Each structure stands twice: as C-alpha cells, then as structure tokens.
C-alpha cells in the first residue's frame, strides 16, 4: 500500500476510534512525516484531503484539528457490535463524504448529460474505466463486452429470463446459494436444478452428468468467498468447470462479488480460463455501499445484443448519476484506498470470529457445520449471528 493511502487510512481510523478527539490538535506535518517515513508533501496532501472531507480543519499558524462530531453521528450503528448475519459492508466505514464529493464533481463535469436518458450498456466513459479496472482481477475485457447494471441482481434477472443461443431453459444453481436469486427463479417459474456445494466444493462428476443429461442453459456459481459457506474453489476445479461448460454448451454466470478481498494473487476467476462460455458479474455494493446499485456484467459476444435489448426493456439505463460518480471515485484513486480500508475491516471481523470459535475449530469444520445446517433446512443468514453468540458462551 502507498504511504499516502496508509497515512489516510490510519488517520481516519484514529478519528473514528476516538484516538483523536473532537477539537484535538493533530501531530504536526514534520512529526507525521517522521512517523510514517514519508515526505512532508505527502502529509500535507493527506491533511488537505481530510480537510476537504470535513474530517479535520486547519488554523493558520497553528495546525490541524479534529472536527467536532455532528449530532447525527449518534444515530450511526454501534461500532462495538459486529453483525455476522449480514454480508453488507460495515455502515460505520461507508465513504459518505468521499462519494458526496464525487457526486458534486460528476454534476459539474457532465451537467445535463446525467439527467437525460443514457444507453443500456452504461455511461461510455465509465465502461472504459471498468475495462481497465477489471484487468486487475484478470478479467481482460474490451469495453463493448461490458454492461453496467443496477447491481448484479438486475444482471441475474435479465440472464435468467432471456433466451440463450444454446436453446436451453434450465438454470443450475449451487445449494446453498444466493437466496434472492433462488426466490426470483421460483417467482418467475423458471426451471431450476440444484447441485450440492460443501466446504470441499462440488462434485465435478455430478456436474458433468447434469450438463450432459439436463437442459442446462446457465450454471450460476460463486467461485470465491461463497455465501454462506465462505469457501472458494480450487484452481483445478475452476478449470474443470470451464472445460465442462465448453464441452456441453453451457454458460456459466460467475458472481465475483468479493473479488476485492482476495489475498492470493494467483487466484484467478473462471473468466481467466476461457471467456467464450463465462459471464463475469462484478458488484460494487460490498466494497463501497449497498445503496450504490451499480454492477458490471462482462458478456460473451453471442449474448450481448439480446442482453442489451432486455436491459433496455427493463429500465432503459441504470442511474447515470451513480455511474458518473463511480467513474470519478475510481479515477481519483479513492476506490483503491477504499479497498484497503474495507479489507482491514473484514480482517478485524475475522480476528473476532476466530477468537469466538471454540479452541481447535478450523474454518473447514465451521463451513461443514453450516453445510449441515443447510441440509436440514434450519440455516438462514440470521443463524450466523446466533451461532457466533452461542460459541462465545
């Protein structure tokens, strides 16, 4: 991580944690430069950015001071309580001020363009930015293959209902899996088949049998950081899934919603092993905030025209204001700094959960326990919170 980002994250955490109290003078520029081993200009840049976001203020010839908290801050969620029942980011670290700045900047830059109809594919300048961003996840996609959606949920809704070139009708899903997608399939009477997923993954022989004998048009999967199991596929399994999809003419919808939390630089998405049958889905809800409702779908050539037409009939376009603000958020470097901060937040949550588990419990055992709860139909997302509380008794 760059010194500038390290400095910004540390100061923000100290402000939120109360180490720098309201009205307290912050260390001098020289002191901070010595402490972090960086130049004075780096400290000045960090302080200036924090001042623009109204987290600190300056007094000429005196220094920088922490801003007094607004009365509304008392309504924010209790940061001492960790809700393990939700996969949403911690509301206490939502980038409110950063994104407010990006929204204001977007209005200044694009003016009337944001308040007229856009295109089904998305804001052209954002699509180009996403093409470069996705390369960081080993998803090398040309702009014409990327569609901006109102979250991954909209992309899944369109994919589930639109016809595919293979002429098949049935959707294959992992069990357990994303419950909102399951409810969507049930509500729209879309044929669906399940394949069991455990802490060890899925049975590839069973997958091949289903691909060969059933009318499977699309296999929806979460290869890494599966919810609720928390496990990821091994690289050999990813490659095997792609090979089977190509052999039996099945499309794979890869939901990579937590790609930003991946530590293993050698862990690639399914898309990296063959893009002709893989639909790559990326959400920004879990890394920024859920209310943003912006996602991205990378589509094979033979799906783009149909997907674009169905998206136009669904909502014409996704929020242009959100798209423009996200573009600025990424271009300015705020997104990279945000990734590091949310990564640190989840790391602290993981440490708390590890301390809460009984001595000797492994993550494999924990995931297996959740699989058992699913199999006897008593698991739901709220059970996670109850389970952790029980473990601490």
DSSP annotation of 25: B
More confident residue, 239 or 77: 239
Give the H or E element holding residue 253: strand 251-255
Q: Provide the mean pLDDT of the chain.
A: 82
Q: Record the tokens describing residue 94, joined without a space.
A: 């939502």
- If you ran DSSP here, which 8-state letter would residue 357 be given? S
pLDDT class of 197 with cuts at 50, 70, 90? very high
**Residue owning tokens 């990279």:** 336
Q: Both 57 and 174 in a single domain?
A: no
Q: Are residues 261 and 192 in the same domain?
A: yes
Beta bridge partners of 56: 66
Strands 63-66 and 146-149 turn out to be unpaired
Give me the torsion for CA of 256, 349, 371, 211, rounded to 10°. Answer: 10
Both structure tokens of 22: 């309201």
224 is in which domain, residue-wise? Answer: 99-331
Q: Please say which residue of 298, 331, 364 terminates a domain.
A: 331
Provide the CB-side half-sphere exposure for 196 (13 A, CA): 13
323-377 residue pLDDT tens: 888 898 888 777 887 777 777 777 777 777 777 776 666 655 555 555 554 444 4
Cα–Cα distance measured from residue 183 to residue 196, given in angstroms and rounded to the nearest whole number: 18
Token pair of 163, please?
């016809």
Confidence at 387, pLDDT banded by 50, 70, 90: very low
Q: How far apart, in Å, are the Cα atoms of 12 and each of 83, 92, 276, 287? A: 22, 12, 44, 17
Q: Are 33 and 132 in the same domain?
A: no
94 part of a folded domain? no
Is the same domain home to 57 and 124? Answer: no
Residue 74: pLDDT over 60: no
What are 1-32's pLDDT values in tens digits? Answer: 567 778 888 888 888 777 887 778 889 999 98
Share of the chain above pLDDT 70, in %: 82
Picking from 295, 312, 331, the residue at the C-terminal end of a domain is 331
Question: What's the rounded Cα separation, in Å, for the pair 64 and 52?
Answer: 12
- State yes or no: pLDDT of 56 exceeds 90: no
Are 222 and 315 part of one and the same domain?
A: yes
Same domain for 17 and 62, yes or no, is yes
- Shared domain check, 195 and 70: no
What b/e readout covers 308-319, taking b as 16+ CB neighbours within 10 angstroms?
Answer: bebbeebeebbb
Of 51-60, 140-149, 174-183, 272-281, least confident by mean pLDDT is 51-60
Count of residues in the chain = 393
CA distances from 90 to 157, 287, 311, 338 (A): 27, 10, 31, 12
Q: Name which of 139, 149, 203, 141 is nearest 172 in CA terms.
A: 203
Same-domain pairing of 47 and 161: no
d(CA 9, CA 321): 27
Q: Has residue 340 been placed in a domain?
A: no
Say which CATH number the domain at 123 has. 3.40.640.10
- Strand intervals (E) in 75-222: 146-149, 170-175, 192-198, 201-202, 216-221
- 316 to each of 40, 65, 117, 219, 356, how far by Cα in Å? 49, 47, 7, 27, 47
Among 275, 298, 331, residue at a domain's last position: 331
Spatial separation of the C-alpha atoms in residues 145 and 127, rounded to whole Å: 9
Q: What is the pLDDT of residues 212-237, one digit of tens each?
A: 999 999 999 999 988 888 889 999 99
pLDDT for 388 equals 43
67 is a domain residue: yes
Residues 108 and 213 in one domain: yes
The answer to whether residue 389 sits within a structural domain is no
Label the pairing between strands 63-66 and 201-202: unpaired
pLDDT reading at 314 higher than 90: no
Q: What is the pLDDT of residue 299?
A: 97
Count the domains in the chain.
Answer: 2
Is 386 a domain residue? no
- Looking up residue 62, the CATH number of its domain turns out to be 1.10.10.10
- The confidence score (pLDDT) of residue 379 equals 40
Q: Is residue 385 part of a domain?
A: no
What confidence score (pLDDT) does residue 91 get?
Answer: 64
Q: Is residue 176 situated within a structural domain?
A: yes
Model pLDDT, residue 377: 41
Considering the domain boundaries, does residue 376 fall inside one? no
Q: Is the pLDDT of residue 268 over 70?
A: yes
Whether 47 and 172 map to the same domain: the answer is: no
d(CA 152, CA 13): 30
């Amino acid at each position: 991580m760059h010194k500038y980002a390290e400095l910004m994250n540390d100061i923000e955490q100290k402000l939120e944690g109360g180490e720098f109290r309201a009205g307290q003078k912050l260390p001098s520029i020289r002191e901070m430069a010595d402490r972090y081993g960086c130049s004075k200009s780096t400290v000045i840049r960090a302080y200036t950015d924090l001042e623009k976001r109204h987290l600190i203020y300056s007094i000429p010839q005196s220094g920088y001071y922490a801003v007094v908290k607004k009365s509304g801050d008392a309504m924010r969620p209790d940061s001492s309580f960790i809700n393990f029942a939700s996969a949403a980011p911690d509301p206490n670290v939502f980038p409110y001020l950063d994104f407010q700045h990006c929204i204001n900047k977007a209005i200044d830059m694009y003016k009337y363009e944001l308040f007229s109809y856009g295109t089904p594919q998305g804001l052209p300048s954002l699509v180009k930015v996403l093409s470069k961003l996705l390369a960081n996840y080993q998803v090398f996609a040309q702009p014409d293959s990327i569609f901006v959606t109102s979250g991954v949920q909209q992309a899944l809704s369109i994919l589930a209902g639109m016809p595919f070139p293979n002429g098949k009708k049935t959707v294959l899903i992992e069990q357990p899996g994303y419950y909102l997608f399951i409810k969507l399939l049930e509500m729209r009477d879309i044929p669906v088949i399940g394949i069991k997923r455990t802490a060890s993954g899925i049975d590839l022989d069973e997958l091949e049998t289903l691909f060969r004998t059933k009318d499977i048009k699309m296999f929806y999967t979460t290869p890494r950081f599966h919810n609720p199991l928390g496990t990821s596929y091994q690289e050999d399994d990813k490659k095997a899934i792609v090979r089977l999809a190509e052999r039996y003419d099945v499309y794979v919808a890869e939901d990579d919603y937590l790609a930003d939390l991946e530590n293993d630089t050698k862990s690639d998405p399914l898309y990296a092993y063959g893009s002709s049958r893989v639909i790559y889905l990326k959400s920004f809800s879990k890394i920024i905030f859920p209310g943003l409702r912006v996602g991205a779908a990378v589509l094979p050539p033979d799906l783009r025209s149909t997907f674009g037409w169905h998206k136009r009939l669904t909502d014409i376009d996704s929020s242009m204001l959100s798209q423009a603000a996200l573009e600025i958020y990424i271009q300015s470097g705020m997104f990279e700094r945000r990734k590091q901060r949310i990564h640190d937040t989840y790391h602290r949550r993981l440490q708390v959960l590890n301390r809460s588990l009984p001595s000797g419990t492994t993550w494999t055992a924990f995931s297996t326990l959740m699989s058992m709860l699913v199999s006897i139909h008593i698991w739901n997302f709220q059970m996670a919170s109850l389970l952790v509380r029980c473990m601490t008794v």
